[in-house]
Chain A
Amino acid sequence: MNLHEEFAEDLSLYALGALSSEERQAVERHLEECSACRRELERLRGDMTLLALSVSGPNPPFRSRERLMAAIAKEPRRVQGRLQKATGWWTAVQWAAAVAAVVIVALLWNQNSDLRRHVASLEANSTEQQTQLMQAKELIASLTSAEAEHFTLVASNTPPQPQGKAIYVRKSGTLVFLASNLPPLPPQKAYELWLIPASGAPIPVGLFRPDSHGSATVVKPPLPSGIEVKTFAITIEPAAGSSAPTSQPILVGIQG
């Protein structure tokens, strides 16, 4: 427990913002030189959060949602401007790296569903999250490496709507694929992504179905490392997938 009992009560009041300004300054002076009290303050702020989370009440009116969405539409994010100035391939890498990192974090997170049930294992989970973040950072490092090869997949007929981006690191066999505007498929069909090597037969990379917006992602499929890639392609296959393409590609890759 806290070794600084004389400050213990004032720290609780400080966390809640319930001290006068003079008392607050005295606590702040003590905090500057006492790491034990700084740690205790962090814990007290966590305890205080529980109070906030104890509240239940009515949902806000629907107009609040409309008001928020209208406000953010009028206030585009700063980051968008920066991205627009970036070169095409770099934008794609940053975008893909961000998406891939969060997808990986989410997937790893899901794998830990057993841990979620144990409220008492706070510290164990914290370590787990650090590991997940490290893995996500490693993935970003791979994707942004100078050795990464970039492919832009466009429709083989002229209308440009369906599009895919594949980012591939040959040395590690790391691939992130993002597609958009893909038409929906009947239930018995699926899209299949193919790696077309510089020599040899197409290698099946992954089966996927787009979401309701026509978007899909294939992140880090199991691929051997070191394959020299000619391009990537997408075909429509039976839902169970094929070991070799059975139809003409609807998207094919061009490097750049």
Chain B
Amino acid sequence: MSSAASNVVLSDAMLVSAIRSGDEQAMAQLYDRYSPIIYSVALRVLGDTGTAEDILQEVFMQLWRSPDVFDASRGSLRGWLAVIARNRAIDSLRKRPPETDITEVVVSVEPDLAGKAEWSRAAEKIRRALGGMPAPQRSALEMAFFEGLTHTEIAEKTGEPLGTVKTRIRAGLMVLRKAFNP
């Protein structure tokens, strides 16, 4: 005898599939699951709650209009939405039209970390890796990622040679990679 599957916790894949057929409640569930990370990333980049709310709206509307551009085999929905939020926030910060095609956004993060507890642990691990970096390395990485500065702009701002900035950014990303894939 089989039991019903009516009350299973809906996975991201199920919710995205439901969005494809226009299910507004599926959208509400994804909002409840991922609006904190999208809003936090946008707020970190922009430092302005009103514009961060606009980015939040824009990212979800994009998912509503084009759920097919999310490819679950290439990474987690959480990571994908977080990176799109960052890209859109940087575009807004630099007052330029959207530069990145969202189909290019690739996230090689373990999809099974979708559970809240798993992600809390993973986020803590990332923060520990960032905290363990030398301050200039972390700062160069964060200026590139959260401020959208080019390496030339970072070099001008910090007064350091261009080559040093490049090396620090590369090394910073490698530290993160190693922390997550030891």
Contacts and interface: CB of A to CB of B under 8 A. Distances in A.
Contacts of A206: 1-4
Interface footprint category on B: 35 or more
A116 B82 contact: no
Contacts of A219: 2, 5
A53 to B, nearest CB: 6
Interface in A74-117: 75-77, 79-80, 83, 95, 98, 101-103, 105-107, 109-110, 112, 115-117
A112 B4 contact: no
Interface string B168-181: 01100110110111
B102 interface: no
A117 B17 CA distance: 25
Contacts of B167: 9
Contacts of B73: 126, 129-130, 133
A3 interface: no
A110 to B, nearest CB: 7
A181 interface: no
A115 B99 CA distance: 37
Interface string B35-51: 11101110110000100
A49 B83 CA distance: 6
A143 B41 CA distance: 42
A49 B107 contact: yes
Contacts of B90: 17
A205 B1 CA distance: 6
A215 B64 CA distance: 23
Interface string B73-97: 1010011101101110010000000
B40 A83 contact: no
B122 interface: yes
A182 to B, nearest CB: 10
Given A106-B14, A116-B112, A116-B118, A48 B39 contact: no
- Interface class of chain A by DSSP: helix
Nearest to B109: A49
A208 B3 contact: yes
Interface of A: 8-10, 12-13, 15-20, 42-61, 64-65, 67-69, 71-73, 75-77, 79-80, 83, 95, 98, 101-103, 105-107, 109-110, 112, 115-117, 119-120, 122, 125-126, 129-130, 133, 204-211, 215-222, 241
8 contacts: A10-B166, A48-B173, A51-B141, A54-B127, A68-B31, A95-B21, A103-B8, A106-B9
> Which 5 pairs from chain A and chain B are nearest by CB?
A46-B108, A208-B4, A57-B40, A221-B2, A77-B22
Interface of B: 1-11, 13-14, 17-22, 24, 27-28, 31-32, 35-37, 39-41, 43-44, 49, 52-53, 56-57, 60-61, 64-65, 72-73, 75, 78-80, 82-83, 85-87, 90, 99-100, 105-113, 115, 118-119, 122-123, 126-127, 129-130, 141-142, 144-146, 148-152, 154, 166-167, 169-170, 173-174, 176-177, 179-182
Given A59-B39, A65-B32, 12 more contacts: A12-B173, A16-B169, A42-B106, A45-B108, A49-B82, A52-B79, A59-B35, A65-B35, A67-B57, A68-B31, A206-B3, A219-B5
